[in-house]
Structure 1
Amino acid sequence: MSGSSSEGASSTASALPPLEYHNLTLNAKKRRFYTPYEVSEHNCASDCWVSFLNKVYNLTPLIALNKTSVLIEPIVANAGRDISHWFDATTQDVKTWIDPIINERAFYTPMKRFLHVPAPPYEAKSKTQEVIPVVPWWQDSKYMIGYLSRKTRFIRIINTLTQDDHQLEVCSEETLREILDRYLVFNAHAASYTWKRLGEVLDMEKTLSENGIEDEDGEFEELGIRDDYYIPAIHLMYNDDLTIG
């Protein structure tokens, strides 16, 4: 499985503020949480997502507005990736250091200066005057589209009516209702089924862990067992109606 572990993920999820969704590209699905793989699919200038400090940003409109600026190059080069190493988790701002040329604290951008980072005094002046906004893009909520899952999991979903068996990577913070939404690509009538685990009806408003489907990756790792050795299964029991999604 992928993703980094985090205790108390479900309680964190419930405490998160509601999101507004802006400029989702290529018919991307609106979600509270995204997997690293989902972010990685948006990896070019015309469809650029990045993640940092456990948030996901769609920077496609930012790039479109500044397409003639060389300062978008480091962003485009890292499209689809996590760039948390650019930022200080405490200040939520770009990392700083003592610049050896001016012997003063300045922004630290070893990957090259990028958009909205002020130029140091010794850098050659651009012919085009740079406009540094009051709120730089990394602090601008209009570009934030969701949260990066702190820990992803794999789950098997077995349709007992058709015997279809699908494996999904999901976010540990997601409720079963949100996982159902991911599953709609395989079965548009997924809401017409009762979701069960070992014969017990699952609560669709709770996470996998809250439904007793624990994440055993840590135990497998300690025992030297491959994390894909056992993937828990959910069984869908048909309710005999045609509810759409």
Structure 2
Amino acid sequence: MAMTENFKCNKCTCQLPYFLPCEVSLHNTTKDCWVSYRGSVYDLTELCNLRKGHQGIELIIAYAGKDISHWSYDNAKEHVAFGESINSTVNNRPSWLDDKYMRGNLTKNARPCRIINVLTGTEAVILICEEDTVARIQERFLGFNAHGTSYTWKFEGLPIDTNCTLTENGIVDERERFLEAGLPDDTYIPAILCYYNDDLTEQ
């Protein structure tokens, strides 16, 4: 599985969830403030509450739900003008990059996933993270089908390993190839077929 580039952290980034940029963008208020920075996602809501009214917090709030990778720093000196309380460092990093605020990783590739319910004939195209395992994609799909875990997922007639990503299952993202050929990037989206197991899973 691809790993995001970020600072050394006590948390194992491979165990943290991956987020789409559009998911981070939903957290865009003072009461729910997330940002992404160099491939990592941080929840700065607590910091905004603790430092309410302090110099620099307004800038963080202004970028709530956005990527702030351009706020790079060198030797713990911010290129962005923060107040002293915000600019204080922890383990040679700004306090707003403290490990306790990290919630996960920002995907390196948001890709579409086409899922077809063989039983009902319905289908949906959802946006997923390249790094998502199929098990995680099944969790995302529960919003469309509460019994999503009661299905066996297959691609081209073969069962899919739910512990692996789509790419690791041989379902690659070919959008760049289509664009290079002068075709729309959604010319073809591989279809995953879902077969109902009839195990009476409760909603």
| 2:126 is aligned with 1:168 | yes
What do residues 9-54 of structure 1 show as CA deviations (whole Å, max 9, x unaligned)? x2438xx82688xxxxxxxxxx610001100111111111100110
Task: Report the equivalent of 2:78.
Answer: 107
Matches within 5 A, 1:46-195: 46-87=31-72, 94-95=73-74, 107-109=78-80, 112-113=81-82, 116-117=86-87, 132=88, 134-135=90-91, 136-195=94-153
Any conservation in 1 of the 2:36–2:67 contact (CA below 8 Å)?
A: yes
Give the 3-state SS of the residue equivalent to 1:153 in structure 2.
strand
Any conservation in 2 of the 1:184–1:190 contact (CA below 8 Å)?
A: yes
Matches within 5 A, 1:5-20: 10-12=1-3, 17=12
Task: Report the equivalent of 1:7.
Answer: none
Matching residue's letter, 1:202 = I
Report deviation, 1:220: 1.4
Report deviation, 1:152: 1.2
| 2:155 is aligned with 1:200 | no
CA RMSD of aligned residues (A): 2.3
Report deviation, 1:95: 4.3
Report deviation, 1:200: 1.1
TM-score by length of 2: 0.87
Unaligned runs of 5+ in 2: 5-10
Report deviation, 1:217: 1.8
Task: Report the equivalent of 1:232.
Answer: 190
Q: What is the rounded CA distance, in whole Å, between the counterparts of 1:167 and 1:214 in structure 2?
A: 16
Report deviation, 1:70: 3.1
Report deviation, 1:133: 5.3
Any conservation in 2 of the 1:32–1:147 contact (CA below 8 Å)?
A: yes
CA distance 1:149–1:244, shift in 2 (3 Å): farther
Q: Give the one of 160, 169, 179 matched to 1:211.
A: 169
Any conservation in 2 of the 1:191–1:244 contact (CA below 8 Å)?
A: no
Q: What is the rounded CA distance, in whole Å, between the counterparts of 1:108 and 1:11 in structure 2?
A: 29
What do residues 103-150 of structure 1 show as CA deviations (whole Å, max 9, x unaligned)? xx95322xx435522xxxxxxxxxxxxxx3545334311100000001
Task: Report the equivalent of 1:39.
Answer: 24
TM-score by length of 1: 0.73
Report deviation, 1:243: 2.7
Give the 3-state SS of the residue equivalent to 2:70 in structure 1.
helix
Matching residue's letter, 1:44 = T
Unaligned runs of 5+ in 1: 1-9, 21-30, 88-93, 97-104, 118-131
